[in-house]
Amino acid sequence: MTTTHVLTVVLDDRLLTLNAAVGLLRRRNIPVRSVTLGPHVTEGRSRLSAMIETDPAAAKRVALLFEKLIGVEEARVMPAGQAVLRELALVHLRPPPDGYAELLDVLNLYHATVVEEGNDGLVVEISGPDTFVLSCLRAIERFGIHDVTRSGPVAVERAEQVSPTPSSEVPVR
Amino acid sequence: MTPGRPDALTPDTVTGAQLMCHLLEEQGVRTIFGYPGGAIMPFYHALPEFPELRHILVRHEQAAAHAADGYARATGRAGVCVATSGPGATNLVTGLATAYMDNSPVVAITGQVPRPMMGKDAFQETDIVGVALPITKWATVVEDISDLADVMRKAFVVAQEGRPGPVLVDVPKDVQNQKVAWTPGRPDAQSNVTEQPSVRASERQGVRTAAELIASAERPLILAGHGIILSGAADELMRFAEQTGIPVITTLLGISCFPEGHPLHLGMPGMHGEVHVNRAIQRADLLIAVGMRFDDRVTGNTAGFARHAKIIHIELDATEIGKNIRVDVPIVADARTALTALTALTAPRHCADWRTEIDSMRRPPDESFKGGIAPEVILRAIHDASGGRCNVVADVGQHQMWVAKHFPYRRLNTHFSSGGLGSMGFAVPAAIGVHVARPDEPVWAISGDGGFQMNMQEIATMVQERLPIKLAIFNNGYLGMVRQWQQFFHGRRYSATPIWSPDYVKLAEAYGIAGYRVEKAGQIGAAVDAALAYDGPALVEFVIEQEANVYPMIPPGATLSEIIESEPAPEPAPA
């Protein structure tokens, strides 16, 4: 059965390796919802997170295919429910003068932070699960969004649970 | 442009180009197949200083890649091809893709424009690494002379280890001209291609389960693929088959891993497999697949493939398990070690009833050539002329299937064919590589009139390099396999399949080689004998029936049960 899987790959930070990795995803004809790349804790390596829609066996095979790539150190795949997923959005807003106070209230509700204020508006940082970020974006839309950059979800496998219930998806500050 | 000679160098300082040659020697390379050009000129400048490296100048870079592939298939060691940047490099692509699909270890070395010019659409600049990524195990560019040795050594390791495949190393021209200290000698970073000593602990339960299934199966079959040849497991396969009495099916690339004529050998499965082979698969209650990947040409429609069978899949590459076919018992292991382990756990048995049942499914031989120049007669003559010692390199199309089905292969790894990619034009250049690997054995390249004309320029290479390869052309005046599909599935609309040929005997004469035309069945033996006896390359054109077909055939997308055994009634062409 097709479900969302999270693929995390540790690879060297050469663009050529990234090119090969993205090419592998493209070629296997599997729907890809997102691809995110960032530095790994080890210098010279990157970490790629991808959300793919496929069945568990094909997802496992994708991870094995990644491990065959020269330049890939490790590839893991897990159902989306077994990963902690977070996304960052930076939003440039141009609220009307009379909407400023209300906007700050909404941002507060979403634990969003104003990271910069200028003459032509303000830049806000929102982070959390992708649905949470989307919800926040919808809530502040009416205040006049000038530009948005979303990171796409980054993922890490869940810590072993004390109780069988997964932790809340609400971001912890 | 002509590069200036490198400055007088101290004994331990070499250019990148010289280092490339040293590294090829270090890897045990004796022959390279290539074609010079602007961005690879420093390499070719250095090459004469290394007389141990024989360079074979092909007439098109595609042939260099196919020749390296043929060499690799015949030896099990990496074949090397060299080309310049841009068109030289892109001409390698079909050969690399062929090697990739058939797991042949090829190392391709390409020149690249100098680093300061990269990315500026310089003359003959192509991002060949980007082009080659999906058709190689690894493709990389050497960014600095300090990386060159490591990259070259790693290229050979990657190409040859595990499941083999091609690697491309792109070397910018200025890197070839850079200077570096070099101490000859075999370093620690030598190829670490090692045999897996035993089945991994994680797979041992699979082996035990497989042995239990084998003991209880009533209708088991072995499906033996290219992995048997790649892992050197032919003896282990023979022991396993003879101990268990299980019949052996050989896939297209598995052909010659198990001797034809052995009582347990059944033949080839799939789209053009024998009727009794496909029926046996559909009747089987256990398939033991070894070193094969359930290609769609083997399985037909997977939904109807071997429905009654449990499937044991022995395969080195875990990504192949379950890719095309559900597998009941996966064993991720080298074919040789897995078969050894499995044989140790299985008791002798005979499968006599099952073998009798399969024998009852056999059909009399194809009679479509009765009285004419039959492929099986040609192939028998080629076999007999050399006392069975020859190597057969097939091209792609109808004749490829006849070569697969009718040649009596009794010697290990003597059949070469472009299976996965199905590259027309493969046979003639690949035969060059096979001949270089086995100079003391006859090598026949067998092509159709279509595929032969794709790379017939390589006759010149054979003449210049004194390679006495024998060329057989099955000339039916059509792109025969496509025409057959048009006949069966497109209402006989022979669109773009009639193909004119030159006078091949005159072509042979023009190249200064022996040429023979066979138009009657009675001429076959004499022509084959004369070609084989001729001291040099020789060509034999067999004028075969124009609308001969390959039977049986499973229509594309159908199951192995839906067999066409004779000419079907014409159907209207699809809208």
Residues forming a β-bridge with B34: B57, B82
Confidence of residue B366 (pLDDT cuts 50, 70, 90): low
- What pLDDT shows up at residue B84? 98
Q: B166 near B159, Cβ under 8 Å?
A: yes
The answer on pLDDT for B1 being more than 60 is: no
Mean pLDDT, rounded, for B56-84: 98
Q: B358 near B284, Cβ under 8 Å?
A: no
Mean pLDDT, rounded, for B112-128: 97
Identity of the residue in A23, A64, A68 whose CB atom sits nearest the CB atom of B133? A23
Per residue in A85-137, pLDDT (tens digit) is 999 999 999 999 899 999 999 999 999 999 999 988 999 999 999 999 999 99
Range with lowest mean pLDDT among A50-64, B29-43, B192-206, B342-356: B192-206
Q: Which of B453, B560, B549, B486 is nearest to B60 (CA)?
A: B453
Per residue in B140-180, pLDDT (tens digit) is 999 999 999 999 999 999 999 999 999 999 999 999 999 99
Please say if B426 is a catalytic residue.
Answer: no
Could you give the C-alpha distances from A1 to A46, A54, A57, B351, B529, in angstroms and in order? Answer: 31, 7, 9, 39, 61
Mean pLDDT, rounded, for B247-253: 98
Contacts of A62 (CB under 8 A, 6+ apart): A7, A24, A25, A28, A30, A52, A54, A75, A77
Chain A hits for B321, CB-CB cut-off 8 Å, are 61
- What pLDDT shows up at residue A120? 86
Please say if B369 is a catalytic residue.
Answer: no
The answer on pLDDT for A171 being more than 50 is: no
Q: Which of B122, B129, B84, B149 is nearest to A15 (CA)?
A: B129
Q: Tell me: ipTM over 0.95.
A: no
- What pLDDT shows up at residue B38? 97
Range with lowest mean pLDDT among A160-164, B330-334, B354-358: A160-164
Helix (H, G, I), strand (E, B) or coil at B91: coil
The answer on pLDDT for B318 being more than 80 is: yes
Chain A hits for B318, CB-CB cut-off 8 Å, are 64
Q: Which of B420, B413, B468, B412 is nearest to B445 (CA)?
A: B468
- What pLDDT shows up at residue B368? 58
Per residue in A29-52, pLDDT (tens digit) is 889 999 999 999 999 999 999 999
Per residue in B6-39, pLDDT (tens digit) is 444 555 799 999 999 999 999 999 999 999 999 9
Scored b (16 or more CB within 10 A) or e, B242-256 reads eebbbbbbbbbbbbb
The C-alpha angle with vertex A20 and arms to A14 and A25, in degrees rounded to 5, equals 130
Query: Which tokens go with B570?
Result: 């014409």
Per residue in B514-523, pLDDT (tens digit) is 999 999 999 9
Q: B226 near B246, Cβ under 8 Å?
A: no
Per residue in B451-506, pLDDT (tens digit) is 999 999 999 999 999 999 999 999 999 999 999 999 999 999 999 999 999 999 99
Which of B138, B143, B163, B325 to mutate against chain A (most A CBs within 10 Å)? B138
Asked if A80 is an interface residue toward chain B (Cβ–Cβ < 8 A), one would say no
d(CA A30, CA A23): 12
d(CA B486, CA B492): 5
Could you give the C-alpha distances from B499 to B369, B450, B494, in angstroms and in order? Answer: 21, 7, 11
Helix (H, G, I), strand (E, B) or coil at B191: coil
Task: Spell out the SS3 assignment of B513-569.
Answer: CEEEEECCHHHHHHHHHHHHHCCCCEEEEEECCCCCCCCCECCCCCCCCCCECCCCC
How far from the centroid of its chain's Cα atoms is residue B239's Cα? 26
Sign (positive/negative) of CA torsion B310, B316, B320, B321? Answer: positive
Catalytic hit among B118, B238, B481, B553: B481
Residues forming a β-bridge with A6: A51, A78
